[in-house]
């Protein structure tokens, strides 16, 4: 089944936004606007959005190249297709796990935010209440993300072609791209998990910036259903991804 490279479309969208923002940054000077009368502010904000958009475009362009190689079956370790019932079951299982992980992470963030907010409130009641309100607002936004994001991904899995592409650098499973060789990402573990519903499980991590100065690694795990009779191929793929074989 032929699939479109959605990552390329996202990259083009961000590039278009970046071009528009860059034009917005130049517009005040082209129109002869007074810098102190708002021209500098418009140029600064537009320039910031242009820079952020071009960075996003470059990230998605890199992901698009990875996805392009997968769909072209370059260096492929496995290409599996699934019956509709198995696709639905996998999508529901992933939804349950992602909802649990999202709410757990939200609870941790909310707890830290509450402690910080109360600390500011005790130290400086006048300013602290505003800090607490901002933190409550941030937690509320994150709660919305925790609620909607897993459901959006589950909806994509239900609509995507029921197949998986696996290589040493990435996997494209039910419309979801996972890359473990880009932007400092690395494989932590790759293993074949046998059982009634065998899966190829890859755990990888990527650098994440928390705030301005704290750089940490965030772990992700993708579980790829293994069709009957493909257990040996899944085991070989796990070894190859982990750098042990092929």
Q: Residues 176-218: pLDDT tens digits?
A: 899 998 888 999 999 999 988 899 999 999 887 655 455 678 8
H-only helix segments in 72-124: 84-123
Question: Which string of b and e fits 153-180 if b means at least 16 CB within 10 Å?
Answer: bbeebbebebbbbbbbbbbbbbbebbbb
pLDDT top residue among 5 and 209: 5
Cα–Cα distance, 199 to 180 (Å, whole number) = 18
* Residue 171, token pair as written in the block: 């996997």
- Is it the case that residue 32 has pLDDT exceeding 70? yes
Q: Mean pLDDT score of the chain, rounded to an integer? A: 84
Confidence band of 103 (pLDDT split at 50, 70, 90): confident
Residue 36 buriedness (CB in 10 A; 0-12 / 13-18 / 19+): exposed
Cα–Cα distance, 96 to 118 (Å, whole number) = 33
What pLDDT is recorded for position 188? 93
Is the separation of the CB atoms in 187 and 243 below 8 Å?
yes
Tokens 């941030």 sit at which residue? 138
Closest Cα partner for 22 from 53, 61, 65? Answer: 53
pLDDT top residue among 35 and 41: 41
- Is it the case that residue 138 has pLDDT exceeding 70? yes
For 58-92, write each residue's pLDDT tens digit.
Answer: 999 999 999 999 999 999 999 999 887 777 777 77
This prediction's pTM: 0.70
Helix H, strand E, coil C: the string for 55-78 is HHHHHHHHHHHHHHHHHCCCCEEE
Q: How many residues does the chain have?
A: 246
Sheet strands (E) in 158-198: 163-167, 170-173, 176-179, 186-193
Cα–Cα distance, 116 to 130 (Å, whole number) = 12
Is the separation of the CB atoms in 132 and 118 below 8 Å?
yes
């Amino acid at each position: 089944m032929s699939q479109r490279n959605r990552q390329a479309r996202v990259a083009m969208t961000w590039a278009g936004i970046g071009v528009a923002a860059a034009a917005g940054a130049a517009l005040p000077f082209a129109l002869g606007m007074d810098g102190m009368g708002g021209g500098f502010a418009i140029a600064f904000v537009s320039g910031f959005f242009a820079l952020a958009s071009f960075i996003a475009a470059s990230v998605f362009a890199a992901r698009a190249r990875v996805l392009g190689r997968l769909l072209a079956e370059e260096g492929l370790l496995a290409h599996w297709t699934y019956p509709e019932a198995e696709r639905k079951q996998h999508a529901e299982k992933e939804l349950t796990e992602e909802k649990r992980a999202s709410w757990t992470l939200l609870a941790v963030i909310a707890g830290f935010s509450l402690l910080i907010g109360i600390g500011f409130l005790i130290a400086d009641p006048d300013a602290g209440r505003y800090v607490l309100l901002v933190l409550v607002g941030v937690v509320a936004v994150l709660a919305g993300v925790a609620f909607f994001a897993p459901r959006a991904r589950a909806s994509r899995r239900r609509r995507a072609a029921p197949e998986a592409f696996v290589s040493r650098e990435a996997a494209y499973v039910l419309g979801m791209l996972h890359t473990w060789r880009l932007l400092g990402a690395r494989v932590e573990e790759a293993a074949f998990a046998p059982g009634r519903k065998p899966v190829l499980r890859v755990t990888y991590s990527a650098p994440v910036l928390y705030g301005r100065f704290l750089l940490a690694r965030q772990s992700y795990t993708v579980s790829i259903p293994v069709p009957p009779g493909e257990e040996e191929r899944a085991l070989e793929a796990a070894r190859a991804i982990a750098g042990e074989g092929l």
